[in-house]
Chains A and B, each alone.
Chain A
Amino acid sequence: MMDGIFLQQMINGLTLGSVYGLIAIGYTMVYGIIGMINFAHGDVYMVSCYLAAIGLAVLSYFGLESFPFLILGTLIFTIVVTAVYGLVIERVAYKPLRNSTRLAPLISAIGISLILQNYVQIAQGSRQQGVPTLLEGGWRFDFAKGFVQISFTKLFIIIAAFVGMAVLTYIIKYTKLGRMCRATQQDRKMASILGINTDRVISYVFIIGAAMAALAGVLVTMNYGTFDFYAGFIIGIKAFTAAVLGGIGSLPGAMLGGLILGVAESQFSGLVNSDYKDVFSFGLLVLILIFRPQGLLGRPLVTKV
């Protein structure tokens, strides 16, 4: 049944899914390297949405009108500031807890998540914020049953997300930093014996995760236009679902999981019921964890004494 709605939801799903994939990278890398669920990651993404809007507002105030410069300036500004957020959060809330009890970093992360939400609410007000549409127009394909519309914004999001993921894959696979990350992920103690400054590698991982979330934040802000201080919570759980779906700790898994979750959720809301799309995603998370906790591309977790 290849009708218009199905194809349209497929495109919406790919757009949404590439955003989930970008955020999921932050969860999966942090989990891979220190085995901790970074609950504050969704709120780091939320902060980046605000930063993107602020960047756009300031740049257009200074008279920058052409789309490529505007978006490039906003991207650089947002990614740099959000990366500093990632670094500072790691230093303040997680690093002192490296040798603490198992629950301590999780609870600390929930604390950071509450702090970020309330801090943005106090600083920026609790009303919804928005940005103007930057990229107008799109392609429209007519069928016998309905039509499909691909806006340039959606196309830009998918392309930008894939470029971001490709750059990250290159860094992890072929650079010295990437080798250090992979070594630390495999065996933190052994890596530090071999002369890798693992504390610094952990900081880099938080920076990379935050930068990817910032890219997602800019792209989502462009597409949907509106957001509020609570936006990070739901999308955070969904990105985590994507990371678990792909196999937590695996980088290609996060991207694949994001795309699958995005498409599944869009199809569900298009074909069944859009009120329950969040319930569907969370239900999917519970089911994956019950039946295939290692995810699609992950390895089963073995606990050693």
Chain B
Amino acid sequence: MATSTPIDFKKVAIDVVVAALMALIVFGPIVGVVLDGYSFNLQPSRVAWMVLAVMVGRGVLSVFLQTPRGAAMLHGLESGGAGVHVRQPDYKSRLRWIIPLLIVVALVFPVFASKYLLVVVIGGLIYVLLGLGLNIVVGLAGLLDLGYVAFYAIGAYGLALGYQYLGLGFWSAIPLAAIAAALAGCILGFPVLRMHGDYLAIVTLGFGEIIRLVLNNWLDFTGGPNGVPVPSPTFLGLEFGRRAKDGGVPIHEFFGFEYNANAKFIFLYAVLFLIVLLVLYVKHRLTRMPVGRAWEALREDEIACRAMGLNHVLVKLSAFTLGASTAGIAGVFFASYQGFVNPTSFTFFESALILAIVVLGGMGSTVGVVIAAFVLSTAPELLRSFADYRVLLFGMLMVLMMIWRPRGLIRVSRTGVALRKGVAP
């Protein structure tokens, strides 16, 4: 279409006036009248700025959508787009250079890092683990899990309470937390996964709240809001403290090096990094196995899959429990790096944050999730002054991403297969 229609400024004006009126009604009372006890303070200038911003935004959008590019974009938004981008069969990804490079950087990193940087990066890696786990559930299998943080809590409290009541340590807690979280996922998921997908979202949301409320209210067992202390991790029975606590040997005495306060964090970083690599590899393989293909097929069209003879409950359940067990492992790391757990770490906001990681990174895309996890978990460290607006920004991010790119920033792409010569098509 070469002919460009002139911009209809009357329509733009009407759009702007309607938007301004709506903005005035919506923002006027809540932003302009601030409650103060049983009386109020007026703040009209805030309302004026917000209405002005809405008017300008609406005007620009209205003009843009009437240009040919805007019309093309609007059309692109409405069509939704395909699920997976297929590359040429002989395509070689640049990732095969980037990944070894990143691993080398990650191995060298703790030698130079300060304690603050180590703590931030460990936090980031925990979110990578959580993002990868939820990505299996939401991104690959298309099941919306809003109580993902419950499995994270099971892992964290598994270590804390396991140490308190059963004397479990860091190493035994990792597999046990994974199993406990997977079992919880299985028990919750099995009945619910038979039903319509949207119900899963609300049931998991309820489950997440149940876990948090029980942790908060069961004072005798979990310590309630006061939380539970978590033991330091050990390596082959060696401790990381300056002095051994109960009959153990500190690691710096055993190997005869200078005491280093970072040792505990370097150790946690190393183990966490290995586990993230392992999970990445497992996920990479799983998406190429029948079960991984079944997850994605089920996400795209459930009825067709069932007609082809897939057991939809078992396929979904495998994704759900696998995601849950990843969260359980992440919980163990979270608990031992904090040294303490309490229920405020496991609110719905945490679930929403992990969901934002998956949504931003691209549903099903591993690279995207790793990047998004680091960006979203370290962004609050960099943007301390915007701390009040963090939740607002996450919310806007979710809405805009769904409108603009419902499948995430990074496209899921897969290398195609060439037909061999001499094989009948």
What residues of chain A have their CB less than 8 Å away from a CB belonging to chain B?
35-37, 47, 50-51, 53-55, 57-58, 61, 77, 80-81, 84-85, 87-88, 92-93, 96-97, 99-108, 110-125, 129-132, 233-234, 237, 240-241, 244, 275-276, 278-279, 282-283, 285-286, 289-290, 293, 301, 303, 305
Residues of B within 8 Å of A61, CB to CB, are: 39-40
Residues of B within 8 Å of A100, CB to CB, are: 80, 402, 406
Contact A285 B352 (CB under 8 A): no
Can you list 12 pairs linking A and B with CB atoms under 8 Å apart? A54-B29, A58-B33, A81-B25, A106-B144, A107-B144, A107-B401, A110-B398, A111-B396, A111-B402, A122-B392, A289-B199, A293-B195
The chain B residue sitting closest to A87, CB to CB, is B22
Among B80, B205, B209, point to the contact of A101 (Cβ < 8 A). Answer: B80
Q: Which of the listed residues B79, B199, B395 has the most CB atoms from chain A within 10 Å of its own CB?
A: B395
Residues of A within 8 Å of B33, CB to CB, are: 54, 57-58
Bitwise, B32-49 to A at CB < 8 A (1) or not (0) is 011101111000001000
Contact B35 A129 (CB under 8 A): yes
Among B25, B30, B199, point to the contact of A123 (Cβ < 8 A). Answer: B30
> A80 to B29, alpha carbons, bound, how many Å?
12
CB within 8 Å for A114 and B391 given contacts A100-B80, A279-B213, A282-B210: yes
Q: Which of the listed residues A80, A103, A118, A125 has the most CB atoms from chain B within 10 Å of its own CB?
A: A103
Residues 360 to 406 of chain B near chain A (Cβ within 8 Å) = 363, 388-392, 394-399, 401-403, 406
Contact A118 B138 (CB under 8 A): no
> A157 to B251, alpha carbons, bound, how many Å?
67
B167 on interface, CB distance cutoff 8 Å: no
Residues 178 to 206 of chain B near chain A (Cβ within 8 Å) = 188, 191-192, 195-199, 201-203, 205-206
Q: Which of the listed residues A85, A130, A282 has the most CB atoms from chain B within 10 Å of its own CB?
A: A282
Contact B395 A57 (CB under 8 A): no
Size bracket of the B interface: 35 or more
Contact B402 A285 (CB under 8 A): no
B207 on interface, CB distance cutoff 8 Å: yes
Bitwise, B401-419 to A at CB < 8 A (1) or not (0) is 1110011000000000000
B355 on interface, CB distance cutoff 8 Å: yes
> A76 to B4, alpha carbons, bound, how many Å?
47
CB within 8 Å for A111 and B209 given contacts A36-B198, A57-B39: no
The chain A residue sitting closest to B46, CB to CB, is A123
Nearest CB in chain A: distance from B51 CB, A = 13
The chain B residue sitting closest to A131, CB to CB, is B38
> A285 to B146, alpha carbons, bound, how many Å?
15
B1 on interface, CB distance cutoff 8 Å: no
The chain A residue sitting closest to B27, CB to CB, is A123
> A55 to B25, alpha carbons, bound, how many Å?
13
Contact B138 A103 (CB under 8 A): yes
Residues of B within 8 Å of A123, CB to CB, are: 30-31, 34, 46
Nearest CB in chain B: distance from A114 CB, A = 3
